[in-house]
Amino acid sequence: MSNKLNLKLTNSTGTRLIERIILPLEKISKEVVFDCRMCGQCMLQVTGLTCPMRCPKNLRNGPCGGVRPDGNCEVYPDKPCVWVQGIERAARLPVWRGRIRELQPPVDWQLKDTSSWINWFSGRDAVYPPGWTVED
């Protein structure tokens, strides 16, 4: 099969032309705007456009019980909890508002540092562990 049609992703960056072009674009724009951590399975639409990978515990399903009374992070007392921000922002967003209540699957660390745009387009970011999808 020619490389052009092969949508299967590899871990290394820049192995395919399309990735060599899109990855830097995605990385630069999302790092500047969202302080994105390039997990490769973007859920900004769920979290009111707040990157949950900035949470030191990498939580994908809401804030932990250690949030300080002032709304700041358990680990970094000077920084606001990303999930407190996410919940506020999601409520203000005109779309996707209820999605913050959905149970999110575990992170697929194989996708780290790959392009979430390509992964979304190819459907790779919706490939969950087989056991996870048994119940739903």
Partner 1 sequence: MERVLRSGQFAVTAELNPPDSVDPRDLYEAALVLAGVVDAINTIDSSGANVHMSSLGTSALLIRAGYDVVMQISCRDRNRIALQADLLAASALGVKNVLCITGDDVSAGDQPEAKRVFDFDSMHLLRTARIMRDQGVFLNGRTISVPPRFLLGAVENPFAPPLHWRADRLAKKVDAGADFIQTQYVFDIEVFREFMSRVRDLGLTDRVYILAGVGPLKSPNAAEFMRARIPGVVIPDSLIERMKKTPREHWRKEGIEICIEIIQKVQELEGIAGIHVMAFREEETVAEIIHRVGLYPRSTSAQNPTQSFSEEEVPC
| Residue from 10, 11, 79, 109 binding partner 1 (CB under 8 A) | 109
Please report, as residue ranges, which positions from 84 to 103 form the binding site for partner 1 (by CB under 8 A).
Answer: 84, 87-88, 101, 103
Of 18 and 67, which has the nearer Cβ to partner 1? 67
Of 6 and 58, which has the nearer Cβ to partner 1? 58
- How many residues sit in the footprint of partner 1 (CB under 8 A)? 35
- Smallest distance, Å, CB 58 to partner 1? 5
112 DSSP 8-state letter = T
DSSP assignments along 64-114, one per residue? -TT--TTSB-SS-TTSB-HHHHHHHHHHH-SSSGGGGGSPPPPP-GGGTTS
- Contact letters for partner 1, residues 68-87 (x by CB under 8 A): xxxx--xx-----x--x--x
Other beta carbons within 10 angstroms of residue 119's beta carbon come to 21
Q: Take residue 135 and report the two structure tokens written for it.
A: 């119940």
In this structure, what are the phi and psi dihedrals at residue 94, rounded to the nearest 5 degrees? -70, -25
Of 65 and 123, which has the nearer Cβ to partner 1? 65
d(CA 60, CA 41): 11
Is position 49 an interface residue for partner 1 (rule: CB under 8 A)? no
- Smallest distance, Å, CB 30 to partner 1? 22
